[in-house]
Amino acid sequence: MNRENSSINSTTNQTAKKSENAPVQRWFWLRPFLPRKLQPYLRGLRKRLEQQKLNLEEPFRSVYPFTQVSQVRLKSLMQLATRIEEEGIPGDIVECGVLDGGSAALMGDATRKSAHRKLHLFDAWKGLPPSGSEDGEASKKWTGQVVGSSHRVSTIMAEMGIPSERLAFHKGWFSDTFPKAEIEQIALLHIDADFYDPVKFCLETWGPKVSKGGYIQLDDYSEFQGCRSAVDEFLEKYPQMTLNTYGNPTKAYYIHVG
Ligand SMILES: C[S@@+](CC[C@H](N)C(=O)[O-])C[C@H]1O[C@@H](n2cnc3c(N)ncnc32)[C@H](O)[C@@H]1O
């Protein structure tokens, strides 16, 4: 592990000791009363109202109602997607944890000149799976929450003009869909699956397929302790990979594959 990794890890570990190991859940008292299938539509409505008060530029404005990813992390994703285009890094784009498609649509938008780059979209669209012991107590309340909609993914892709031929929907739990997916090479991998087991599985399955010069962005490194452990374990196995950050004080975390 290089010096950059060590300093990032020590900072985030200190944060984890001081604070919750998982994000605070908004509207937790209301959740038992709302059918889970409504979540994507209610979230979309809330985000449309929020969006009106924000002065966002395109394409961040269009994707806002379709994503939970923070603005700084979306900007980082956009920058990485632009870099793989400029640097001609070969491979497809893979997102594990798609929800309503906002972050995926942004990556599709930034790579629209590369019609050959497929956008592989992996999600069960059934909410988060059960958390495990590595995720800690605070993560348990997230199980079954964060329900997205593949229909809403198609809506934002169409709104953004991303051709359907570029899209590969892999609907189901990762344990069922990963073994069936045929992906040769990846230029940009976005992992947004929150918990230890899925993040570890994503890294182990797709990490070795990322091209030299490609990128892996990890949405939950500073939010969920399980994600952080999975990433740290992966980096220990692959010391040639470095963990970088973008933005301050909220940070995006990404690996540049060397
Ligand atoms: C935080 S959301 C993704 C957010 C999204 N990238 C966005 O732009 O808002 C996490 C998603 O990961 C999916 N997920 C987590 N673990 C999974 C697994 N093991 N198999 C399939 N989907 C999974 C959940 O269904 C959920 O939709």
Q: Of all helices (H) and strands (E), which one includes residue 203?
A: helix 196-206
Q: Which residues pair with 171 in a beta bridge?
A: 123
Question: By mean pLDDT, which of 30-39, 70-79, 123-132, 245-254 is the weakest?
Answer: 30-39
Q: Is the pLDDT confidence value at 224 over 90?
A: yes
Would the CB of 98 count as within 6 Å of ligand 1?
yes
Would the CB of 123 count as within 6 Å of ligand 1?
yes
Question: By mean pLDDT, which of 3-7, 13-17, 190-194 is the weakest?
Answer: 3-7
- Stretch 101-113: mean pLDDT: 97
Full-model pTM: 0.91
Q: Of all helices (H) and strands (E), which one includes residue 153?
A: helix 150-159
Q: Which amino acid is at 232?
A: D
The predicted pLDDT at position 231 comes to 97
Read off φ and ψ for residue 186, nearest 5 degrees: -125, 135
Q: Is the pLDDT confidence value at 16 over 60?
A: no
Taking 3-state DSSP, the helix, strand and coil percentages for the chain, each rounded to the nearest 5, stand at 50, 15, 35
Q: Is the pLDDT confidence value at 172 over 70?
A: yes
Q: 1 vs 175, which has greater pLDDT? A: 175
Radius of gyration of the chain from its Cα atoms, rounded to whole angstroms: 17
> CA 118 from chain center: how many Å?
17
Three-state DSSP at 245 gives strand
Question: By mean pLDDT, which of 17-31, 124-138, 145-159, 215-229 is the weakest?
Answer: 17-31
Query: Could you read off the pLDDT of 120-139 as tens digits, one per residue?
Result: 999 999 999 999 999 998 89
Residue 79: give its domain's CATH number: 3.40.50.150
CA of 114 to the centre of ligand 1 (A): 25
- Domain count of the fold of the chain: 1
Would the CB of 128 count as within 6 Å of ligand 1?
yes
CA of 3 to the centre of ligand 1 (A): 31
Q: Which amino acid is at 226?
A: G
CA of 157 to the centre of ligand 1 (A): 17
Range of the domain at 44: 3-256
Q: Is the pLDDT confidence value at 51 over 80?
A: yes
* Measured distance CA(18)–CA(50) in Å, rounded: 30
Contact call for residues 205 and 178 (beta carbons, < 8 A): yes
Would the CB of 226 count as within 6 Å of ligand 1?
no
